[in-house]
Amino acid sequence: MRRYKTLDGHYVSKIKKDNVDYFLGNRGNYQEDIDNLIKNVSDLRFDSIIIIFGLDTGEYLNDLYKLMCDKNKVVIFEPNKEIFLKNKKISNEKVALVFFEEDKIKSQLYSFINSSSFNNLYVHAFGNYSEIYEEEYNFFIETLDCAFHTASSSITISNRFREVFIKNLICNLDIINQSTGINSFEGKNKNVPAFIVSAGPSLEKNIDDMVKNKELVEKSIVVAGSRTLKTLLENGIKPDLLVSIDPIDDNYEMMKEYLDCDTPLVFYEYSNRKILKDYKGEKIYLSTLLSKIIEELNTLKGTYLGGSVAHTCVDIARTLGCNPIILVGQDLAYTYNKHHSQSATFKIDNNLNLMAATIVKDVYGNDIKTTATLNQFRKKLEEYIETDTKTNTTKYINASYGADIIGADHLELNEVFKLNIFYNVKECFEASRDINIDSKAVISSILDYIDFSTSNAESGGNLCIELSQCDDNKSLVDIDDDDEELQKFLEILEIINNFEVSPENAFLGGYFNKFIFDIKQLKFSMYAKDYDRLTSNLKYQSQCFLLYFKEMKKMLKEVQQLIIETVTKSNESHNIK
């Protein structure tokens, strides 16, 4: 690698890649490369993250600094090791220079792309990097898209299901108290094969093969979701575990004819309350929320939530110690131009959007149509498999005919049954009902927390009203430490910080996530160029936080009323019985 002076007075790196020489930037007009970057981030928000693919000589940093405020962060991914090593000392509080490594890029991107930051990202490939390092750049963008989709989906789901999440949580507390924790079965089926039965178009053929080899299936652990229960039972295959994680009532419609089934039902806090209430079989509890808050439950194991029930089914099988994991009906694409197996299609599917605009490779290497959502599910499943197989000897087999799943080699199901894997004796799921919590006390503690937070919001709002009367130009920069108004402002910040970091906000579910997202967009979304001026003005800040506390009280009251209504209806239902 050598540096050359450009025709317009800058410096550009010349590198050799695959025995070909390349300039990483425009040697004739390097300023144009810098201008393109600056133009891309010209409307920079105060808390935006700037992600750049390629450092080159780093001459663009000075221009970039002029646009940034203290809250901005630049993350530069450099694929050329020589350039990285030569410049790694440039990393500071504002800039992070990261060497591009495919096996680390996922965790690096996920570490700072979340539900709070995903809509404030600026992404730019500098100079000629995207052409010279095309393969690396494409992988980088694909991984970044996955991180973005995961983060944006979480806030969408929080918003869409926030009410039903609260209702399910409150109603399911009594069910939790009558269930067995998944921990009780950890490792109890070590090296027993597990069939993860999904509802993709391949299910028909997969079921035929399972029926023909029923004796071997019965030696395995069969894990199914509510959508495939009907198909399995009608074909004489009784699943060992039934997993229900979807919160909405559509799943009840899928299962309503089979609520007297005695297969253990695996659930978590937000699973559909109607299914849990009416299902006759034993219940197995996965803790994703309460174990973080309730001391009596803090030893319980949670589960992997990758977007679909199949992800959770796979993680449950791994918790049991199952190996290999055999995926059936797991198409994640429109195999045979169908969205689901015919036997696992219900009336509710009439409203499905059948637009499949994404093209991926199927298990045979041919193009197949899928949707952005299904493709995201595939990527999350691949991530899980990759992580698991790094530390375990688990074998994943994809017996479906849809999208290729990296890490799960395709094998015809009739060939799977020829493998020497069906020799360990599986252990049944004996309920111990080992969970003991006071559901009424939990509900009371949630309502107490809401009252406590509402009181703090009221106090914070009153302080904001007082400070809004201060001088228009009073600055938080030029102010004495013992200034009375400064002390009130610091008290406001403490109230907000204590509220936002409280683990008990988990009880508020999607309401809290939506509140933080909305308030940030409504009042705390300023341009980076205005950040110092606005955040140093005491009156402006006080007015912003006054709105914060008003919206906070509104959100808390909505949750409080929802909980009280849910408890009242639940009690009335019990009294009727």
Contact, 182 vs 301, CB < 8 A?
yes
Please classify residue 246 by burial: count the beta carbons closer than 10 Å to its beta carbon, then call 0-12 exposed, 13-18 middle and 19+ buried.
buried
Collapsing DSSP states into helix, strand and coil, what is residue 284? Answer: strand
Please classify residue 66 by burial: count the beta carbons closer than 10 Å to its beta carbon, then call 0-12 exposed, 13-18 middle and 19+ buried.
exposed
For residue 276, what are the CA distances in angstroms to 168, 268, 524, 569?
10, 10, 41, 16
The encoded tokens of residue 18 equal 């695959």
User: Given this model, what pLDDT does residue 415 score?
Assistant: 96
Residue 573 has pLDDT above 70, yes or no: no
Say how far apart CA 440 and CA 177 lie, in whole Å: 11
pLDDT (tens digit per residue) in 246-303: 888 888 888 889 999 999 999 999 999 999 999 999 999 998 888 888 887 888 877 7
Phi and psi at 407, nearest 5°, equal 100, -15
The encoded tokens of residue 554 equal 């509104």
Binned at pLDDT 50, 70 and 90, residue 123 comes out as very high
The DSSP symbol for 290 reads: G
The DSSP symbol for 398 reads: E
Say how far apart CA 59 and CA 61 lie, in whole Å: 5
Say how far apart CA 433 and CA 177 lie, in whole Å: 8
Largest CA distance in the chain: 86
* 511 or 47, greater pLDDT: 511
The DSSP symbol for 90 reads: G
Amino acid 34 reads: I
Binned at pLDDT 50, 70 and 90, residue 1 comes out as confident
Please give the average per-residue pLDDT across 78-107, as a whole number.
Answer: 91
Collapsing DSSP states into helix, strand and coil, what is residue 194? Answer: strand
* 133 or 356, greater pLDDT: 133
Say how far apart CA 546 and CA 515 lie, in whole Å: 14
Binned at pLDDT 50, 70 and 90, residue 239 comes out as very high
Place of tokens 């005491």: 538
β-bridge mates for residue 243, sequence order: 225, 266
Say how far apart CA 224 and CA 229 lie, in whole Å: 7
Alpha helix segments (H runs only) across 235-281: 250-255, 273-278
User: Given this model, what pLDDT does residue 344 score?
Assistant: 64
pLDDT (tens digit per residue) in 167-178: 999 999 999 988
pLDDT (tens digit per residue) in 394-431: 999 999 999 999 999 999 999 999 999 999 999 988 88
Contact, 27 vs 6, CB < 8 A?
yes
User: Given this model, what pLDDT does residue 348 score?
Assistant: 65
Q: Which of 196, 147, 173, 110 is nearest to 444 (CA)?
A: 173
User: What's the mean pLDDT when you consider all of the chain?
Assistant: 89
Residue 531 has pLDDT above 80, yes or no: no
Collapsing DSSP states into helix, strand and coil, what is residue 111? Answer: coil
